[in-house]
Structure 1
Amino acid sequence: MTTEQPPRARRAYRSPRRKQQAAETRAAVLAAATRLFAERGWAGTGMREVARAAEVSVETVYATFHSKTELLMAAIDVAVVGDDEPVPLNQRPEFATLPSGTRPERIAAATRLITIIHQRTTGVYLALREAAASDADLARQLQVTQERRRITVGEGLSHITGRTVTTQERDGLAAIASVEVYHLLTELSGWTPQQYETWLADVIDRLFDT
């Protein structure tokens, strides 16, 4: 007498091409959303507009990012580090190398990194601030984002100075090097990013000893 064997579970087939297409779609949606949030703000950007700009269906946008809130936060995360890899800024090579070199070289590397991040994130960050004024969930997300940034600034300042920095020093630099100040100087006062970078390096050099 033979016993019937249970059917083998089918192995999920994951096409490399399909995976690549999904990644390309995600990147296109993020790029479109980042541009629209920067140009139109939170209220002026809808999921249909993002879909149209990314040249995909609105169903695809919702399948990739389940809500407008999730899409904005993903756009901010990508803008901070420059790609969609799940590696936080303080674990990236450009951050890990901040303790290297002379003090002027460390300051220059840090201010260059801050300037690059501001160039990528200002538009989406201002959209988050706009949204937080009327949405409790996004207000909490803004608080989390700001606290994470303060912690990262403190780590970076410790790399520059070669010592443990105080909470007051950390919070002071986080305010001076904030997106809001960058936006004020570059958009409203007409500074170039290079002028901002040079100014910030001078401020850090004057305020923080080794």
Structure 2
Amino acid sequence: MGVNSRPADGGRRRYDSPLRDQRARQTRQAIVAAATRLFVLHGYAATSHADIAAEAGVARPTVFAAFGSKAALLREVVDQALAGDDDPVPVADRPWFRPVREGRTPRAVLNAYAEVCRLIGGRAAEVFEVARRAADEGAEMAELWETMQRNRRTGATMVIDLISALGAGPHDLDRRRAVDLVWVYNDPSHYRSLVGACGWSEQEYTLWIADQMAHGLGLGES
């Protein structure tokens, strides 16, 4: 032919890119899983990049390359514990949150939201405790904790707005006070205390959360 048949990129083939992306994602997930285990076991402050790298089976620079600071890694650990994976889909758009939006009575909304609290509690209660304790480690960690509290309040606000849209708003409570009440009960620390420490079943926990929210909001069994 008289011409060089090698690709212009020097031999690299584009079909290798998805494989590299997959491997990079697998490496990131291994690091997140390792960091989650160590943060929960030893705490944020006592866990180093080197510890995480060893637990994940990667080189220490790989952890830096994937996430940079340890604070950024904890932020990712929190996000994935809440969502259940690393897909960039908001919690409110997840299939397991859909029953909350589709509830046709106030109690149906609260029952579905109690199930969401159970699901998130099971995945994230220990990670929330890590973040709470890490908030004393500096401004960046304190801001992460505050963001987590604001996000919980956003979820509580959504629930109250859904109930109000059904024409059955909380009795004898203004909107802000109603949001306050749901915000208190959607805290994963309740799961950690009742299921983790006291040995409640997940069903008992879910029913309790739903009942407490309904009672506090002055809503019956409708």
TM-score normalised over the length of structure 1:
0.85
CA contact (8 A) 2:125 2:192 kept: yes
Decide which of 172, 177, 184 is 2:186's aligned counterpart.
177
Superposed, 1:79-158 pairs within 5 Å as 79-103=81-105, 104-158=107-161
CA pair 116-52 structure 1, distance change in 2 beyond 3 A: same
Whole-Å Cα distance in 2 between the matches of residues 190 and 76 of structure 1?
24
1:186 counterpart = 2:167: no
Give the AA of the match of 1:205.
A
In 2 relative to 1, CA 82–134 (structure 1 residues): closer, same or farther, beyond 3 Å? same
- CA spacing shift, 1:176–1:62, aligned 2, 3 Å: same
Contact 2:121-2:191 at 8 Å conserved across structures: yes
Match of 1:60 in 2: 62
Distance in 2, matches of 1:72 and 1:132, equals 11
**How far is 1:99 from its partner?**
3.1
- Provide the alpha-carbon RMSD of the alignment: 2.5
User: Are 2:213 and 1:204 aligned?
Assistant: yes
Q: Report deviation, 1:102.
A: 4.5
Residue 68 of structure 1 deviates from its aligned partner by 0.6
Give the deviation of 1:9 after TM superposition.
10
Q: Which runs of 5+ in 2 are unaligned?
A: 1-7
- 8 Å CA contact 1:185, 1:196 repeated in 2: yes
Aligned partner of residue 68 in structure 2, secondary structure = coil
Q: Deviations over 1:149-168 (max 9, x none)?
A: 10112102333553567111
Unaligned segments of structure 1, at least 5 residues:
1-7
The whole-number CA distance in structure 2 between the counterparts of 1:76 and 1:89 is 13
Alpha-carbon offset, residue 96 of structure 1? 3.6
CA distance in 1, matches of 2:137, 2:63: 24
User: Percent identity among equivalent residues?
Assistant: 32
TM-score (structure 2 length as normaliser): 0.81
Among candidates 38, 44, 57, match of residue 36 of structure 1: 38
Deviation, structure 1 residue 48: 1.4
Residues 124 and 12 (structure 1), Cα distance of their counterparts in 2 relative to 1, 3 Å cut: farther
Closer/same/farther in 2, CA of residues 156 and 95 from structure 1, 3 Å limit? farther
Taking the aligned partners of 1:54 and 1:105, their CA distance within structure 2 comes to: 42
The residue that corresponds to 1:3 in the other structure is none
8 Å contact kept, 1:122–1:183: yes
Q: State the distance in 1 between where 2:159 and 2:211 align.
A: 16
Do the aligned partners of 2:120 and 2:188 also contact (CA within 8 Å) in 1? no
Which amino acid counterpart does residue 203 of structure 1 have in structure 2? Answer: Q
Amino acid at match of 2:19: R
Q: CA deviation at 1:31?
A: 1.2
CA shift digits 1:39-78 (9 cap, x unpaired): 2211232211211121111111111010110000001001
Report deviation, 1:36: 1.6
Could you tell me which residue of structure 2 aligns to residue 4 of structure 1? Answer: none
| CA deviation map 1:159-188 (0-9, x unaligned) | 355356711111121112212222222233
Q: Residue 23 of structure 1: CA displacement?
A: 0.7
